[in-house]
Structure 1
Amino acid sequence: MHSNNAVYLKPQAKLEPLSCGWYAWPYLIAPAQLAMNLNFRLLPLLESFVSNPATHVAANADPKMYGGPFVSLAMEDVGRVEQLMADTRRRCAPLLTFAQDYKEFSSQLETEAGGYSLNGFYAKLPPSLRGLVECLYDTNDHAHVRLFEDLVYDEAMTAGTQEILLQLTGEQDRHFFMSTPRLDGPDSLRLPLAFADGRLDALARMRTQPRPFQEIVDLLGVAAEDVATFAQFFTPDAPARSGVPRYTGEGVRMRYFGHACVLLETKETAVLFDPMVAFETKNDGRYTFCDLPEFIDHVVLTHSHQDHFCAEMLIQLRHRIGQVIVPSNNSGNIADPSMKLQLQALGFDDIQVLDAFERVEIPGGEILSLPFTGEHADLSIFSKQAIALTLKGRKIAFLIDSDGVDGMLYERLMRRIGPVDALFLGMECHGAPLAWLYEPLLGKPVSRRNNESRRLSGADCERASNVLSQVKPPRVFVYAMGQEPWLQYMMGLKYEPDSIQLIESDKLLAQCRQSGIEAERLYLSREVEFEAAQAPPRARVVDPVAGSAAASAQLAPA
């Protein structure tokens, strides 16, 4: 027992936010999407496990099935899963009613509305939807339901559904986030705290700053019978740091923390993209949570997929973040929940929402939001942004998981933003099919043919070449695409040497080098320092009719 000694939170301690007992990713934070996933994915998955646990156990014995729709629990866990199902149906009853009513009413509206006034449908609204939706037509007379999402957060549907699970499970032993609920174990403890609870900041600070053990026990109200279990998550030993946490040079330092997480620093400011870092220290050259600066002026979230918008990470960084920058969403669309509202539910209050080509001025530069096509299975999802970041006269483009299908888009973008010094691009060119992420939100079943054709994919070599031919960067960084070992529970994939993602990105890297472009595929960690440069004037917006040659003539030199 630590008694009143000053202690740190152990690096391997996980603080998992849970919604209704499941790892909370974005679509389990937003209430309407939580309801849909509970009713049409998670409960059916648990029912499948209870009715035939042997199938799930056998599937999980095969590493190739990791990330599939199989509950990763043992035969003896059937009783606990049955209890979880009963608890879910009891405490989440309003959510389940909302989901069923929403899907049935949406189907009825789509089937029965034929262009005539929709006023009559309001009398058909079930109680769970009244005052929360609007019935609308698009310009082709296709009827749909618009959700007043902000009002759904005001409802009491999610009361008592949030908690924090402390556990010591190793990074590669964590269950896949989408298929396995979090059950109690000897190395875990549940804290009945909502995600926005400010007391979590005190606990998260203990990753880098010690605090007397009894103080955190008292602050969190840990029950006397749980204190011994709680103590196992703490240590008197300070965490290891592998590098200087704050840059003090005259240029711009880029640090890659894995996946799509990139930190850009000058001595005046720090900008972090899509935070998703390792907690555990290993001898593999990685940076960890402790290598982030003590204060991060701006966090940029590019879209609301779970590997870019990670509630677990954001909650623990909340006390160190100044402002969060997110894209606007397709308001009212069940497939496109507001990232701003989710962040507010996570306890953030300084949130900047950008439309395409809006900017945030920062010391020595700006953050400019850009359109981002692809990776969302052709759904009408607007909450995604690429970024052009300017610092100390250097301009770096983060095109994230853009698919590069329409090369003309990038010609037009370059007319707006001017030459860049470096380009970051993802090349997950064979992503998961539509239903893998979005099935609970779809109005009707998707055919196998359509499901396989509509994928969460970025660019392959040919489409990435479309991008490079217009952007013409002198330096290219391809993301690691989820191959870091601490991301297995989130990504559910492991590339083999002959995986198409590696083949296609290798082809692009070879093309770049043949063209004299510095290019590399990132992995684990990377540090690059850019010298400060005289800031060029902003590129003018050029008349498209004038053509790319005229546009190029008016752009500032690199």
Structure 2
Amino acid sequence: MFPDSNVHPVAAGDEFVYLKSDVKIEPLVCGWYAWSHLVSPAALALHLRFRMLPLLRNFVDNPSIHVSANLDPNMYGGPFVSLAEADIAAVRQLIEDTETTCAELLAFADEYRAFDARLQQEAQGGTLNDYYTELPQALRGCLELVYDLHHRPALRLFEALLYAQGLAVSTQQVLLQSLREDERHFFMSTPRLPAPGSVTLPLRFSDARLDLLARARSKPASFNAIAEQLELAGEQRTALRAMFDTTPPRRRGPIDHSGDGVRVRYFGHACVLFQTAEVSVLFDPFVSIEEADDERFTINDLPERIDYVVLSHSHQDHFSPEMLIQLRHRIGQVIVPANNSGHVADPSMKLALGEMGFGNVVVLDCLDTVQIPGGRICSLPFTGEHADLSIYSKHAVALNLGGRNFVFLVDSDGRDLVMYEHMRRAIGGRIDALFIGMECHGAPLNWLYEPLLGKPLNRRNNEARRLSGADCDRAWGIVGKLEPARVFVYAMGQEPWMRYIMGLQYSPDSIQLTESQRFIDRCRSHGMEAERLYLSGEWPF
């Protein structure tokens, strides 16, 4: 018997099992893969009304266009539903269910968009007080009418009050199914329809029973205890049993670090783990669930106790509800950037984490510091990658651990080099390693944010305003100010398990690869260690 199985003792006829590595635990909102904007009630409402429902209706009306587009790999990540014509009836049902279940959210979206448009047209700098009596019912009690310093009106949301109303609670589900990485549909284009052998759990994201499933990835569990806790019987219980076997997960070496110094492990994309004998710190967790015959680390190579998780911003490749919910039982404290904007395009990460069952969340303003065993974590400015929108919920981070300094600039653009001079003084001491993303030609503004915009965006401005980081010259300018001993280019989104969330695959001559290689070559020509990370890596510091 395994005393640390974290479930009930095994009963006669029961057995200890592990969740198979190809089983995905996908949190869903209204049948869609959950990302940060779909956890926040206000952003969810606007995405539902102005992106998701129109896309589904377009598929029902013109299925051949979507089916044809899905035959072209270059169209992956575009606004095309990746389903077959045989799925039309199921999509019609999803539309009907959404209109019923989400009626309050849809009313909020309609009234928010209409009232904001009216305010933009009518309010010219005079008092806004009289408008409160004319607020539509869906907006009452959850916002403030304000001007910016240029006398432009805006709606400032009290997002916590929207959560308190429970508008989105009934929209949450969890889908379990055995699915290969390359079979996962792009998160923004395609809802998750129930498939043969799948199990849909009507659970809120905060439900502690999800921890039973997550633990079973790495620790043996009683299947009967899990099935009873989830109240599954009949076909659903049988389908769930097929997702388990008795084979323990594979691991690449010891998951804990008991030696001297700092062990750094790269888990792909923007996910980096720092470990000493005292503490573990994990940045932007988005790791492979699936075992494969390559050099990747998987979720089972993470330590059973992660003392601190640091989240840089709320984009879907850095803030993953799917990943965070599965790691929740391991995590001590989550560190996020401050929000407090009330801006519909800038949901609070703290509130979203609370909706996902996290209670120990620390919010940092610029240069705020958290002391940790053997070091500290400091919030730094992060400019760029948000298409010039006023987004507060983002920060770069300096980690001091074991006498070493590590700096994460995420997808910073390097436009104002004086800022990095200030940053260098705030960090103090030698910078041992700099991590910087170089997706220098990112998606246009409308890719993520179109449903949240108050008015249409012309094509020229949409193409100009992109979710971009630094190119070679700007990254080199940052290096000149920070003078790191070593440079890692990371967060390029090319790992196999990232495709469904990134929607892109670079060719060898893509500007993101050529610019990052130019930067690496320039660093090396000046005697500095530099490399572009992919899949996995491990280094002692």
Residue 53 (structure 2) pairs with residue 43 (structure 1): yes
Give matches, 1:151-550, under 5 Å: 151-418=161-428, 419-530=430-541
Distance in 2, Cα, partners of 1:242 & 1:282: 12
C-alpha contact (below 8 Å) 2:312/2:396 kept by paired residues: yes
C-alpha contact (below 8 Å) 1:166/1:190 kept by paired residues: yes
Letter of the 1:453 counterpart: A
Distance in 2, Cα, partners of 1:306 & 1:346: 15
Letter of the 1:385 counterpart: H
Aligned partner (choices 82, 89, 98) of residue 72 of structure 1: 82
| SS, match of residue 451 in structure 2 | helix
Task: Return the offset for 1:187.
Answer: 3.1
Task: Return the offset for 1:42.
Answer: 0.2
| SS, match of residue 501 in structure 2 | helix
Distance in 1, Cα, partners of 2:477 & 2:344: 32
Q: Could you tell me the percent identity over the aligned residues?
A: 59
C-alpha contact (below 8 Å) 1:414/1:470 kept by paired residues: yes
C-alpha contact (below 8 Å) 1:26/1:310 kept by paired residues: yes
| SS, match of residue 160 in structure 1 | helix
Distance in 2, Cα, partners of 1:339 & 1:478: 25
Distance in 1, Cα, partners of 2:26 & 2:476: 39
C-alpha contact (below 8 Å) 1:3/1:214 kept by paired residues: no
TM-score normalised by the chain length of structure 2: 0.97
C-alpha contact (below 8 Å) 2:169/2:204 kept by paired residues: no
Task: Return the offset for 1:362.
Answer: 0.4
Distance in 1, Cα, partners of 2:422 & 2:239: 58
Judge which range, 149-158 or 249-258, deviates more: 149-158
C-alpha contact (below 8 Å) 1:3/1:213 kept by paired residues: no
Task: Return the offset for 1:159.
Answer: 3.0
Task: Return the offset for 1:490.
Answer: 0.5
Letter of the 1:307 counterpart: D
Task: Return the offset for 1:331.
Answer: 2.2
C-alpha contact (below 8 Å) 1:330/1:336 kept by paired residues: no
Distance in 2, Cα, partners of 1:55 & 1:149: 38
Distance in 2, Cα, partners of 1:225 & 1:415: 62
| SS, match of residue 172 in structure 1 | helix
Residue by residue over 1:377-428, the C-alpha shift from the partner in whole angstroms, topping out at 9 and shown as x without a partner, is 0000010010110011100100010001111111111111123111000000
Distance in 2, Cα, partners of 1:510 & 1:315: 39
CA 42–455 in structure 1, closer or farther in 2 if over 3 Å, else same: same
Q: RMSD of aligned C-alpha atoms? A: 0.9
| SS, match of residue 95 in structure 1 | helix
Distance in 2, Cα, partners of 1:365 & 1:186: 50
Aligned length: 529
C-alpha contact (below 8 Å) 2:28/2:175 kept by paired residues: yes
Task: Return the offset for 1:156.
Answer: 3.1
Could you say which residue in structure 2 is the equivalent of 1:546?
none
Letter of the 1:88 counterpart: T
| SS, match of residue 342 in structure 1 | helix
Could you say which residue in structure 2 is the equivalent of 1:538?
none
Q: Any gaps of 5 or more consecutive residues in structure 1?
A: 531-558
| SS, match of residue 460 in structure 2 | helix
Residue by residue over 1:270-316, the C-alpha shift from the partner in whole angstroms, topping out at 9 and shown as x without a partner, is 00000000011111100000000010000000000000000000000
Distance in 2, Cα, partners of 1:464 & 1:281: 34
C-alpha contact (below 8 Å) 1:23/1:177 kept by paired residues: yes
| SS, match of residue 169 in structure 2 | coil
C-alpha contact (below 8 Å) 1:396/1:423 kept by paired residues: yes
Residue 67 (structure 2) pairs with residue 57 (structure 1): yes
Distance in 2, Cα, partners of 1:450 & 1:158: 33
Distance in 2, Cα, partners of 1:73 & 1:330: 39
Task: Return the offset for 1:453.
Answer: 0.3
C-alpha contact (below 8 Å) 2:410/2:491 kept by paired residues: no
C-alpha contact (below 8 Å) 1:374/1:401 kept by paired residues: yes
Task: Return the offset for 1:330.
Answer: 4.2
Letter of the 2:114 counterpart: E
Task: Return the offset for 1:72.
Answer: 0.1
Residue by residue over 1:51-107, the C-alpha shift from the partner in whole angstroms, topping out at 9 and shown as x without a partner, is 100000000100000000000000111111011000000001000000110111111
Distance in 1, Cα, partners of 2:166 & 2:223: 34
Distance in 1, Cα, partners of 2:490 & 2:211: 30
Task: Return the offset for 1:192.
Answer: 0.7
Task: Return the offset for 1:480.
Answer: 4.7
Letter of the 2:467 counterpart: L
Q: Any gaps of 5 or more consecutive residues in structure 2?
A: 1-11
| SS, match of residue 258 in structure 1 | coil
Task: Return the offset for 1:251.
Answer: 0.1
Residue by residue over 1:523-555, the C-alpha shift from the partner in whole angstroms, topping out at 9 and shown as x without a partner, is 00000000xxxxxxxxxxxxxxxxxxxxxxxxx
Letter of the 2:188 counterpart: M
Give matches, 1:128-143, under 5 Å: 128-143=138-153
| SS, match of residue 37 in structure 1 | helix
Residue by residue over 1:456-490, the C-alpha shift from the partner in whole angstroms, topping out at 9 and shown as x without a partner, is 00000011011011011110000151100011111
